Amino acid sequence: MGYRLVEASIRDIIVGEHVTVVTPSNLYECQLGHHCFVGPFCEIQKGVAVGDYTKIQSHSFICELVTIGSHCFIGHGVMFVNDRMTDGGPAMGDRTKWEATHICDHVSIGSNATILPVSICSHVVIGAGSVVTKDITEPGVYAGNPARLIRRITV
């Protein structure tokens, strides 16, 4: 009945200037651009790239294969998913079944949203608690489960 205690850590990350990471957080082998902020209790996994001036609030999880653009806002408790569980359960380490997520610039994602493997264009707002299941290709406000266009944004 043994166990292994692994503490949250920040290791092997590339950071720009004026970056703030509040601990405890678990960040490894990822990249944060200039003027980024990461709140406490976040996990950002290897290979993730976050653009300049992006803010990630507490309790958010950003898994492998995610890129986030510049001037974005990720609310509290946002979860990114890279495994659609297409075989009825988790891929169990079979990374060939994982899919990428790409978030463009000026995207705001409300608290407790879930983002499946999708692409989201620039100038989008995702409402709190929404579940994004499909690509978003038009600027606007999206909300619901699944997230749908509520109103357009002119940029």
Report pLDDT digits (tens) over 72-82: 999 999 999 99
Please tell me the distance from the alpha carbon of residue 2 to that of residue 26, in angstroms, as a whole number: 23
Q: What is the mean pLDDT of residues 123-143?
A: 98
Q: Is the pLDDT reported for residue 49 higher than 90? A: yes
Which residue in 86, 85, 74, 2 sits closest to 32, CA to CA? Answer: 74
**155: confidence class by pLDDT, cuts 50, 70, 90:** confident
pLDDT, position 92: 86
> Under CATH, what is the fold of the domain 10-152?
UDP N-Acetylglucosamine Acyltransferase; domain 1 (2.160.10)
The residues that bridge with 119 in the sheet, in sequence order, are 102
Average pLDDT of the chain to the nearest whole number = 96
Q: Is the pLDDT reported for residue 106 higher than 90? A: yes
Q: Is the pLDDT reported for residue 97 higher than 90? A: yes
**6: confidence class by pLDDT, cuts 50, 70, 90:** confident
Which residue in 27, 54, 51, 21 sits closest to 39, CA to CA? Answer: 21
Please tell me the distance from the alpha carbon of residue 151 to that of residue 149, in angstroms, as a whole number: 6
Q: For residue 135, how many other CB atoms are within 10 A of its CB?
A: 11
Q: Is the pLDDT reported for residue 1 higher than 70? A: no
Q: Is the pLDDT reported for residue 109 higher than 80? A: yes
